[in-house]
Structure 1
């Protein structure tokens, strides 16, 4: 990056940062007190300040009141995105000693037998965690506090590793993408480990710890050659520097991708960035989840007579994960005692059923007490709470109908209309069949059948009285068979035309 553009970027960054994010982070300085005990002392990090001098902190030792110089801008950028309503991050500070990494695959970063003199001096490690970020930063303080109006120690951020997804929640079968970024500023020009200009080689390590077991998931050393451990479970990392400035600072990316996550892959993931004699590490808590499906039977209506108990209600909570944290509540809406109340009756839960994808199911049962007429139209609801669901949970409900208190519904009217429509169609088909058989002279049997069919039609749909236009009237008298057949035939011919 050119000097002019660098100054412009810094100026623009400062203009946006001075009014965003927390200015001071309160920490605890943790150190060994002997006898296996730890002591905690208050400390603070001043990330940014206005044109005025830093505020005095007489309650702090000047060596624990640190004004952070962040050449890469990583810390400032992280807290510029920090939500105003988010809780303050938990912060701990401790002493740090530069040492080579113990892993064999990263030994190429430290060919020297001892730590270079450029890394001599006091080092501090700061670790922060909150629901929106998790980071660690190696700080190198100046030897003496600065004689400003408020005594304060200036410290430079050398290596910062952070993630903005500290507690990812992944559904079973979906891919997990765990973001990781880091920044490095050489503490002195002599601290460069490579004679070539540009960012140094580094090592990236992702490990998982769960139920007391740890596994190396992935290791990478961009810029170095040599045998590497094989990645596990299809894991992939996007490891590399984002820029190639000759003198730094440099920013990098180590985002981790894990395909088709299953329940056994949840746990604590540790991301470590190795530089010669320096290591920065942050943690992520990966949780695998699957929200439950909730169904309530019998549905949609349950029927009971006054004084009788309704049928047993069964609430099926299916295919959810994890099994911990599930709560089932029974509610009664619209009962005689108000808008809402906890449902009474005997209740119990079944044992868990396990599925091939790692999810589980169970059923909740409720035997309601005998109903009253005042409960007509009330609704029984099964409400389920689970870590994978919103705060209100998920519910299913059925309506209680008390026998003898419900009239015909809209559905009943629609059913009667359809029945009448089908009956009318059947009558028309009988009429067409009778007309066809009556006009055929093939056999007497067909005439008899047509007479029977047509009399059936007359019974269902009487013909008009006899008139000059040719109508027949058969009621009120006992005509002989010949008169009846003649009348029917003439009526058929009249209606057919």
Structure 2
């Protein structure tokens, strides 16, 4: 390739990379002034060469041009798929406050909130099928506000790329969590205690309106934390130790051998001195069923008779809800396929020790005719843990007299086999009798000879 076309290709490739993802995110600003009020707002993540696009529909105080020193927020949206649904974004005012949990009190060495945290703060929560994140924004003071928008700096970002983890029953759950922090003022970044600040990590499961603490950690701080529940482990640490930031960290959560009771909403919270960020994840458990059909491999019946009842066993699946069993008839002399005739029903649910369940589908066919010979009957199972096509098993119906021996032939064969077996046994008895008689005669002759010699 010539140098110029190559350069153009590289530039276009870079432009594609940079321009990936939405340039702006539409949000709702939620404010509680006696009653909840919502106003439109927007986060401008990327602008063109002519500057921020005008938004006359927005209050300039709610049109934020985002500065993200750590880059985590912008990187997440750069990888946002073009065809994915638009994320849901809400923002509200935030007031810095210390963590209320006893185990996190070591994060606040001073009694009063430092003056460096004075001013306006905004909490932005973004949820989507791609990621879930929480951001603390600090808008610029009033004198520096631009006429058409407001500059805002990202201070804390908490992010997960698995907002809806779907874990197979009995497998380990790994819930990723990352966070980034930039000191809100230059004075903080250049303070003598340079380096990332201490932080607290908390994982809870929401159940019936209450949060159950599963794990708490305060890396680098002396102090006792509650023991981890359900053998949970978190990889809690800063990724780097740069003197002035920004810093990124990891709080990935590991839960071994997931069981059904561990389904629910998981809340991951990162605590910094007077600052907090939280994301939620909806964990669900599933297990695809095994499907088998009995009797197998053939169902045998004579014309006019009712075939044996077909039993479709759907075993060891989860969740119990959502199971559907369909019966189909395929092939036969007439060809084609369609819904199987007959009476169908589902058995009661059987529970297993690992939390999975089993259930059986039944099909009672009407009396068969010669037209049903060679037809295949299949049960197709649909369940949330399976692909849309489901999973199936089938068996072939054989009508006596049309393939293989008829009923009369079967009876004749049975009688012939019975007579043959009787003949074989009679011949065996006769051979045994002759052998015994011959041996007895030989013994009598030998005894007579011995008697004559002794005389």
Give TM class, smaller chain.
Answer: 0.7 to 0.9
Larger radius of gyration: 1
- 2:32 corresponds to which residue? 32
Alignment of 1:472-487 (within 5 A): none
Preserved CA contact (<8 Å) 1:18 1:50: no
Any conservation in 1 of the 2:169–2:286 contact (CA below 8 Å)? yes
Corresponding residue number in structure 2 for 1:468: none
What is the alpha-carbon distance in structure 2 between the residues aligned to residue 68 and residue 175 of structure 1?
37
| Contact 2:334-2:371 within 8 A present in 1 as well | no
1:192-211 pair list within 5 angstroms = 195-211=192-208
- Hey, what does 1:359 align to over in structure 2? 356
Higher relative contact order (CA closer than 8 Å, sequence separation 6+): 2
Spell out, residue by residue over 1:310-341, the C-alpha distance to the aligned partner (whole angstroms, 9 max, x if none): 32111111111111222222222336887442
Residue of structure 2 equivalent to 1:220: 217
Q: Deviations over 1:262-308 (max 9, x none)?
A: 22222111110000110000011111221111111112222334444
How many angstroms does 1:376 deviate by? 3.2
Structure 2 unaligned residues grouped into runs of 5+: 1-10, 406-437, 440-455
Q: Quick one: distance in 1 between partners of 2:36 and 2:331?
A: 58
Query: Which of 330, 333, 355 is the aligned partner of 2:330?
Result: 333
CA separation of 1:335/1:93 partners in 2, compared to 1, >3 Å: closer, same or farther? farther
Equivalent residue for 1:376?
Answer: 373
Query: Which one of 260, 266, 270 corresponds to residue 269 of structure 1?
Result: 266
Aligned-residue CA RMSD (Å) = 2.6
Whether the 8 Å CA contact 2:29–2:91 is kept in 1: the answer is yes
Cα pair distance change 1:332/1:184, threshold 3 Å: same
Evaluate the alpha carbon distance shift between residue 71 and residue 311 of structure 1 in structure 2; reply closer, same or farther with a 3 A threshold: same
- Aligned position for 2:55: 57
Q: Of residues 383, 387, 390 in structure 2, which corresponds to 1:390?
A: 387
1:398-443 CA deviation, whole Å, 9 max, x = no partner?
12233333369xxxxxxxxxxxxxxxxxxxxxxxxxxxxxxxxxxx
- Look up the match of 1:292: 289
Note the alpha carbon deviations across 1:6-64, whole angstroms, 9 max, x for none.
xxxxx9x9867522112222222222242xx4222222222222323222222222222
SS at match of 1:59: coil
Aligned pairs for 1:10-29 (under 5 A) are 17-29=17-29
Which range is displaced more, 235-244 or 332-341?
A: 332-341
Structure 1 pair 335/68, CA: closer, same or farther in 2 (3 Å)? Answer: farther
Deviation of 1:374 (Å): 3.7
Asked whether the 8 Å contact 1:193–1:200 carries over to 2, the reply is: no
Q: Tell me: CA distance 1:180–1:193, structure 2 relative to 1, closer, same or farther (3 Å).
A: farther
C-alpha separation between the residues in 2 aligned to 1:163 and 1:15? 27
Q: How far apart are the structure 1 equivalents of 2:333 and 2:59?
A: 67
Aligned to 1:99: 97
Q: How many angstroms apart in 2 are the aligned matches of 1:268 and 1:32? A: 25
Give the Cα separation in 2 of the matches to 1:109 and 1:301: 71
Of 406, 409, 415 in structure 1, the residue corresponding to residue 403 of structure 2 is 406
Q: Please tell me whether the aligned partners of residues 17 and 76 of structure 1 are also in contact (alpha carbons under 8 angstroms).
A: no
Match of 2:140 in 1: 142
1:329-361 Cα shifts (integer Å, max 9, x gaps):
222233688744232321111111111111111
Q: How does 1:237-248 map onto structure 2 within 5 Å?
A: 237-248=234-245
Number of matched pairs: 396
Q: Which runs of 5+ in 1 are unaligned?
A: 1-10, 409-444, 447-497
